[in-house]
Amino acid sequence: MSEFLSARYENMKPYVPGEQPKDMQYIKLNTNENPFAPSSAVAKVIKNFDVEKLRLYPTPENKELKVALADYYKVEIENLFLGNGSDEVLALIFMAFFDKEKEVCYPDISYGFYPVYADLYCLKKNEIAVNSDFSIDVDAFIKTEKNIVIANPNAPTGMAISAKEIEQIVAANLKRLVVVDEAYIDFGGESVTGLVNKYRNLIVVQTFSKSRALAGARFGIAIADKKIIYDLEAIKFSFNSYNVNRLTEAVALEAIKDEKYTQKCVKEVIKNREWLSTQLKNLGFEVLPSSTNFVFARTNEINGYELYAELKRRGILIRQFNKERISEFVRITIGTMEQMKTLVLEIESILKK
């Protein structure tokens, strides 16, 4: 690092995204992307997009998109905040609502960006250990007086807690903020967006990167009480007023309209996930129950890093985390059935060796 970097960031460890090597053609199962193309309606709007309009700034309010989202989620447009991917939305939430007095906590095994945001904003990292079976310790979150961030379903475990349990956490203390990161909710979890009008201390964050196959477009949302959204908008307009670009706005609008296609892709991912889980169990793997578009698994036959490295050598990318308690696990994104069958054959070959 340079001598010009602020001292408050000298120990910060940035988030490490899934690798994207270019040395060969890989089956890419390491970044939880949707294996299916976006809706044909999205493709059509891109094909017919008026490129001349790119010289103009997008509308800061994103009114047309907010109207469509409000109709879909059964909320008012004042309950919606739009951002450049859910990562940006989460970063602005950390910036707006957490500080040395208003501390935040989150599970010790969860989305890797949470501790990064804590470092970025010079916050104390309060981590609540997950249970021995890697499930969220609901009772601990009910009892804490700190603000809360929970990924549900959780990542990288893939495990979910019920909407009833989330409500218990939210209702236990209305003076603290509860942020529920629902990036993978469409693959089997229970969304709590319907609780936003009931609890003023709840923020639900979702993304269009997963179930709607728009990871490259970068679009995320927050749904919350109108006063919370007002605060987030104030932060946004002090940071980047045009944070949703014209093309992303156009494709997100079409994606939210084509729910039939979204559900078709989701069902296919779930079917492939259950098939892969069964195959891995038959090979002796422990596979955690997943409500996401990935599985988290380990075996006594080979350690997590060795399996990751050998599959990469064979042209298949998966994710392995060098972190205590989960280093033996690998996270495998659900792909097409053809990709899943190729993966299983390669794993069988590796285990035989």
Q: What is the pLDDT of residues 226-235, one digit of tens each?
A: 999 999 999 9
Largest Cα separation within the chain, whole Å, is 60
Q: What is the pTM of this model?
A: 0.96
Position 142, amino acid:
I
Bridge partners of 149, per DSSP, are 179
| Confidence grade of residue 329 (pLDDT, cut at 50, 70, 90) | very high
**10 Å Cβ neighbour count for 339?**
18
Q: So where are the chain's domains?
A: 7-37+260-352, 40-257
Q: What is the mean predicted confidence (pLDDT) over 92-99?
A: 97
Cis before residue 17, ω within 30 degrees of 0?
A: no
- Write down the pLDDT at residue 242: 86
Q: What is the pLDDT of residues 274-294, one digit of tens each?
A: 999 999 999 999 999 999 999
Tell me which CATH code domain 40-257 carries: 3.40.640.10
Helix (H), strand (E) at residue 230: helix 226-237
User: Using the 8-state DSSP alphabet, how is residue 222 labeled?
Assistant: E
- CATH superfamily for 7-37+260-352 is Aspartate Aminotransferase, domain 1 (3.90.1150.10)
